[in-house]
Amino acid sequence: MKKGVTPVISTILLVMMTVAAAGAAFYWILSVQGGLTGGSEQHAESLNEHVNSQLLIDEIQYDVRNPYGPATSTNSENLSGNITMVLSNVGAQPIPIDSSTTSPLMSIILKNKDQVLVCSPSDVNGSNVDCISGCGDGATLDAGERTTVKLSLNETCDIGNITTYPNGTLFYLNMDFSGQVGTQASFRK
């Protein structure tokens, strides 16, 4: 006589294993869904914050500062200049226009008419650009507000040289405000 598991016992064991496998699969699906939902909510909040951030450059102007008098062929190398712009926050979130060297950072890229880089991506108050006014430490531009920002271009980033960049030269300015919002404008020297 052979000893073994009766058909009733084997059926009960199979049903128990099936229920255990289904329970484990259900628990796993719930945990994956919870992780995806949480990530989606976080992404939606981040996206909403960025969508609600919008900054416009209403006016932009380049002013030459020449301590040696009017620009001539002999003193054109000594020119430096300022970019003055009026910024408008037309979004719903405040925008940091901080000039500190730690986060949040405001950075610029300046290109000529041929899209050739004139001023490398640099942080304001870094090596190429200094904030003169409107973007002090901790400064923010609240929703619906306007402010004037004045930046000084240093020698490595300056466009004042009349030989290299004659008057009327077109430039493109891209600005980033701590990755929260970016804006761009073009202007003529």
Ranges of each domain in the chain: 1-51, 55-188
Query: What is the mean pLDDT of the segment spanning 110-115?
Result: 88
Q: Sheet containing 170-177: which strands, arranged edge to edge?
A: 117-123, 106-112, 170-177, 181-188
Among 11-25, 60-74, 81-95, 160-174, which is the least confidently predicted range? 60-74
**SS3 of residue 54 by DSSP:** coil
Q: Do 86 and 59 contact (CB within 8 A), yes or no?
A: yes
**Most confident among 40-44, 107-111, 136-140, 177-181 (mean pLDDT):** 107-111
Amino acid at 70: P
The architecture that CATH gives domain 55-188 is Sandwich (2.60)
* Burial class of residue 140 (count of CB atoms within 10 Å of its CB; 0-12, 13-18, 19+): middle
pLDDT grade, residue 73 (50/70/90)? Answer: very low
pTM: 0.63
